[in-house]
Amino acid sequence: MKKATLVIILLLYFCIGCRHPKPSYQPQNTTILNIDHLSPSLECEKVPLKIIYDRNWYETDRDKYIQMIRVLAEGPDSSIYVLDSEADRLVQLSKDGAFLRTVIPSGKLPGHLWHTSNIAPFHRTNKTLYIADHVGMRLQVFDLYGRLIRAMTHVFVDHYQFALGKNGTLLYLPSLGPSCPVPRKASEPPRPIDPQLLYMAVLADSLGNEIKRIGPIRSDDSLVYVEDQRLSYQIIASPHSPYIWFVFIAAPCIRRYDYKGNFLEEIHFESERIAAAKKKFSYSVEPSYSIIFIRMLSNPHLAENGDLILSVYSLGTVRLALRGNATSIDKKYELYLSEDADFPRKHFLELRYLHGKKYAYIDANRGLLLKESR
């Protein structure tokens, strides 16, 4: 009898332990991608481009003038949405770059854009648009023609970073919202990090109600925090992908999770030029702190098959594909102008797939949109 009781007790402890697993801070797999030693057989796709929108064409027509083009999405009828972050509005261009209209105007009222970001994404489904307004403390949902459906004021999206996930879910960077303390002065010591912020992302339903938190992190995780300041990373997900990617802009590093919260892989990019840039722009933590601002990874987005496309410092645009449990560089893109043009060659061209076509913009403060010319 005693043995039977002991067995039952042990089984109960085992079941409780399985239901409440300890958080995993370490990846199941670590991948090093040394871009100095890429295989000579790596596929390189050449993409000729032509300019289809140039802000200089519209200097006398301010309604059609877009200061910076960096945040794009597919619009209805093969059109293109462009987030005009300087004017805090969403505009619509034709597939060939012609200005069509302002879809969502600037303003503080619901249904308007109070403050947008030139590095943060907005997202669309087949029927809706999601746009984060950090200053307005809201996540707004519009139909594809700019009519407001709802504004979620209980969803506090930090640094404008969010994504649309599987089964209509939202993933966003956790924030304390309006209760967040004022910024720390240089003379003040680092503050303890609120436990609510020690996660990579919040998983919520389509109405913004929290389901769970993804990716527990330690307060001394230097990839995410310097002292008490969160470093910049982007959340990349898709309704069609089983994975959540966290792309660290300056590290350069990527973390891959599944929707159960398993930390599947950590990917590091290495090269001599990356090492030199890290040394040159390394942040120094003195009485205060300073954070490097060099974009080693940029423009991350998922292809239709779930491959991750992004630009890598000193390499250009590449496609990452999952091979078994590890990620590898599957293809490199060589982007170039098919015609003579006044073009700042020192800046990267950033590739973006829209409606199955290749578009590009310049990673600089310039309003140019390019399209594959073949």
Tokens standing for 13? 């402890």
- Dihedrals phi, psi of 271, to nearest 5 degrees: -170, 165
For the chain, the maximum distance between any two Cα atoms, rounded to a whole number of angstroms, is 91
Tokens standing for 66? 């877009």
Residue 22 carries which side chain, given as an amino acid letter?
K
Cα–Cα distance measured from residue 209 to residue 293, given in angstroms and rounded to the nearest whole number: 33
Q: Are 244 and 171 in contact (CB under 8 A)?
A: yes
Cβ burial of 276 (10 Å; 0-12, 13-18, 19+) is: exposed
DSSP state of 146: S
Cα–Cα distance measured from residue 266 to residue 245, given in angstroms and rounded to the nearest whole number: 10
Smallest Cα–Cα separation from 266: which of 283, 252, 279?
252
Phi-psi category of 56—alpha, beta or left, where left has phi over 0 and alpha has psi -120 to 50? Answer: alpha
| Element (DSSP H or E) covering residue 272 | helix 272-280
Could you give the count of Cα atoms lying within 13 Å of 217 in the half-sphere of its Cβ? Answer: 24
Please tell me whether the peptide bond between 252 and the residue prior to it is cis, using omega within 30 degrees of 0.
yes
Distance of CA 333 to the CA centre of its chain: 20
Cα–Cα distance measured from residue 257 to residue 55, given in angstroms and rounded to the nearest whole number: 39
Cβ-proximal residues to 12 (8 Å cutoff; 6+ apart), any chain: none
Cα–Cα distance measured from residue 340 to residue 336, given in angstroms and rounded to the nearest whole number: 10
Q: Which domains does the chain have, with CATH numbers?
A: 28-372 (2.120.10.30)
- Tens-digit pLDDT profile for the chain (374 aa)? 555 555 455 555 555 445 445 567 899 999 999 999 888 889 999 999 999 999 999 999 989 999 888 888 999 999 999 988 888 899 999 999 999 999 999 998 999 988 777 665 688 888 999 998 877 778 899 999 999 999 998 887 877 689 999 999 999 987 766 555 555 566 666 667 777 788 999 999 999 999 999 999 988 888 888 766 777 789 999 999 999 999 998 889 999 999 999 999 999 999 998 888 877 766 554 444 344 457 789 889 999 899 999 999 888 899 999 998 899 999 999 998 877 665 555 456 889 999 989 999 886 667 899 999 97
- Taking the CA atoms of residue 158, residue 163, residue 165 and residue 170 in that order, the dihedral angle to the nearest 10 degrees is 40
Tokens standing for 64? 């059609």
